[in-house]
Chains A and B, each alone.
Chain A
Amino acid sequence: DAKTTQPPSMDCAEGRAANLPCNHSTISGNEYVYWYRQIHSQGPQYIIHGLKNNETNEMASLIITEDRKSSTLILPHATLRDTAVYYCIVRVVVTGNQFYFGTGTSLTVIP
């Protein structure tokens, strides 16, 4: 029941910024945008989340458009260890509210 659309794959040169887009045109006003990534054969790792404003942490930046219908995750200086599948998820932050994963974007960082 994913509500997001992401490109299936992307490449990025090592050291350059990786910009991963996500479309969520049916997002509701109380739904947050979450980003996770999954390195092969591991559990997903939380990256960042936001509601309206752009957010930044030690891992990445999240840019949300003014109409909130799309967002971009930015890894400022991609390294080989950033090669993973990146998932964009929208959900309401309430008790027990589930996360449904879409197909994600497989990012390959190239040396």
Chain B
Amino acid sequence: GAVVSQHPSWVICKSGTSVKIECRSLDFQATTMFWYRQFPKQSLMLMATSNEGSKATYEQGVEKDKFLINHASLTLSTLTVTSAHPEDSSFYICSARGWLGELFFGEGSRLTVL
């Protein structure tokens, strides 16, 4: 299957700093990517839909100014958590849609805010 890679796989930062997570589709072009967040023992929660060359679409309750999404090319989307706080600590997962409509997911990025 298609490969989606995230970087970094884990990051620890101080409260108030910003953290950028990259999501790359390695062997296919993805006009649409999705960002999810997952808290311990919970399911994945869709945060936003990232469209190449246009603004992201955020789910209700997700602050667009706090979670900045950029999808500048067909193989790269980035999520920046701005002014991170401990409650933003979570597992962030990106995905890209394949040509059959299925989603391929990255390995996830675990963010810990101290």
The answer on a CB contact under 8 Å between B1 and A46 is yes
The size of the chain B interface, using a CB distance under 8 A, is 27
The answer on a CB contact under 8 Å between B110 and A41 is yes
Which of B13-21, B76-84, B95-103 touches A? B95-103
The answer on a CB contact under 8 Å between B51 and A101 is no
The answer on a CB contact under 8 Å between A43 and B93 is yes
Known A41-B91, A93-B101; contact A101-B108, beta-carbon cutoff 8 A: no
In the complex, what residues of B have CB within 8 A of residue A95's CB?
A: 31-32
In the complex, what residues of B have CB within 8 A of residue A21's CB?
A: none
Q: Is the interface of B mostly helix, strand, loop or mixed?
A: strand
Whether B44 is near chain A, meaning CB under 8 Å from some CB there, is yes
Q: How far is the CA of A45 from the CA of B102 in the complex (A)?
A: 10
Whether B75 is near chain A, meaning CB under 8 Å from some CB there, is no
Q: Which positions in A face B, CB cutoff 8 Å?
A: 32, 34, 36, 38, 41-46, 49, 87, 91, 93-104
A to B CB contacts below 8 Å, 9 in the list: A42-B108, A44-B44, A44-B95, A95-B32, A96-B51, A99-B34, A101-B36, A101-B45, A103-B43
